[in-house]
Amino acid sequence: MQNAAFRELELDYAYLAFRVPKELLKSAILGMAGLGIVGLNVTIPHKLEVMKYLDHIDEDALLIGAVNTVVNRDGELIGYNTDGIGAVEALERSGIQVKGKRIAILGAGGGSRAVAFKLAESARSITILNRTKSRAVALAKTLGKKRNVEVKADRLNDDTLATTLSEIDLLVNATSIGMWPNTGVSPIKKSLLPRGLTVFDIVYNPVQTQLLCDASEKDCRVVEGVDMLVYQGAAAFELWTGTRAPIEAMRRAVMDNLRRKIKS
């Protein structure tokens, strides 16, 4: 995706993947500054640990408690989190305004935190549902302190889903349920999905998760996780380069890659 963007704009950059063991994370980040690397993405399991080795951390990333993008500005390393930006952009580019919406988010992990903090900037209410209720409650408490929004939390099960789904405008699956290779499962029974609900699944592989397939059959409006992947990547691209990201070129690269994986 990023290399496709660089080619599209004829920028002299290359995006490479490096596997970094936890015990070498500090030296890897210091090496980034020493080598003059412009920026990088940080993936699980380093999104929290990396914050110790940065010079500055963006306010949103501090609230979320995780960094997925690092920018090297003249030797100073600055951490950002673009996941929430990508989620809001995916929704709004699909014609769905977040402002005033009643939203339920499934999951209380890192992806959920990033999405919740960004959506809470303009949502009417946020409900966090998680299999471990204590984690949902902890996230809801933090969210309520930092954002001016009505927040609720509960255990994720059929009973709480049935109640919650009747009261919301938008459902966000921020769990990994339905991700490849476990593609035939969904966090919600099809029978519980009300018609007309907007359903957003941040899982992008497969593009059409079981949840989204079920939602489409119930005449729900669906937003794919690929959209969030592309827009969070575009936000990182713009932080690194100061140049507007070529969205369509990035999307084509992602879709081509996913199609090749399906064929293989």
- Of the candidates 223, 239, 255, which is a domain's last residue? 223
Q: Each residue of 173-200: b (16+ CB within 10 Å) or e?
A: bbbebbbeeeeeebbbeeeebeeebbbb
206 CA to centre of own chain: 15
* Same domain, residue pair 44 and 71: yes
Boundaries of domain holding 38: 2-81+230-263
* Same domain, residue pair 74 and 53: yes
Q: How many CB atoms lie within 10 A of CB 242?
A: 8
Q: What pairs with residue 127 in β-bridges?
A: 104, 152
Exactly one of 47, 52, 133, 218 is catalytic; which is it?
A: 47
* Same domain, residue pair 72 and 88: no
* Same domain, residue pair 89 and 54: no
The pLDDT tens digits for 210-232 are: 999 999 999 999 999 999 999 99
| 118 noted as active-site residue | no
* Same domain, residue pair 32 and 111: no
Q: What pairs with residue 71 in β-bridges?
A: 39, 78
CATH number of the structural domain spanning residue 254: 3.40.50.10860
* Same domain, residue pair 70 and 113: no
* Same domain, residue pair 204 and 180: yes
Say whether pLDDT at 264 is over 90.
no
Three-class SS state of 80: strand
* Same domain, residue pair 171 and 241: no
* Same domain, residue pair 62 and 92: no
Instruction: Fill in the amino acid letter for 254.
Output: V
CATH number of the structural domain spanning residue 215: 3.40.50.720
The pLDDT tens digits for 142-186 are: 999 999 999 999 999 999 999 999 999 999 999 999 999 999 999
pLDDT of residue 110: 85
The total number of residues written for the chain in this structure: 264
* Same domain, residue pair 212 and 121: yes
Q: Each residue of 210-224: b (16+ CB within 10 Å) or e?
A: bbbbbbeebebebbb
pLDDT of residue 262: 66
User: What whole-number distance in Å separates Cα of residue 34 and Cα of residue 56?
Assistant: 17
The total domain count for the chain is: 2
* Same domain, residue pair 217 and 94: yes
* Same domain, residue pair 76 and 89: no
Say whether pLDDT at 263 is over 70.
no
Over range 189-197, report the average pLDDT: 96
pTM greater than 0.85 (yes/no): yes
